[in-house]
Amino acid sequence: MKAIDNHALKDYITQAERAWLRVFDSGKPSHLHSPDGAPLRRLPRCWQSRQRIYAYFRRWWGPRLASHMLCNLPIFVRQSCLYVAAYDVPPISLNVREVQVVRERDGVIVVSTTLVGGFDEPWRVQHVLRRNPLDKRLMIVERSDPEDFRYRVPYLDE
Which residues fall within 8 angstroms of residue 2, CB to CB, at 6 or more apart?
none
Residue 2 has pLDDT above 70, yes or no: no
pLDDT range class, residue 146, cuts 50, 70, 90: confident
Q: Where are the beta strands (DSSP E) in the chain?
A: 28-33, 39-42, 75-78, 81-85, 95-105, 108-116, 123-131, 138-143
- Quote the pTM value: 0.90
Q: What digits encode the pLDDT tens for the residues 34-92?
A: 999 999 999 999 999 999 999 999 999 999 999 999 999 999 999 899 999 998 888 88
Q: What digits encode the pLDDT tens for the residues 92-112?
A: 888 899 999 999 998 899 999
User: What is the number of H-type helices and E-type strands within the chain?
Assistant: 3, 8
pLDDT at position 158, please?
40
pLDDT at position 135, please?
87
Instruction: Please tell me the distance from the alpha carbon of residue 36 to that of residue 86, in angstroms, as a whole number.
Output: 11
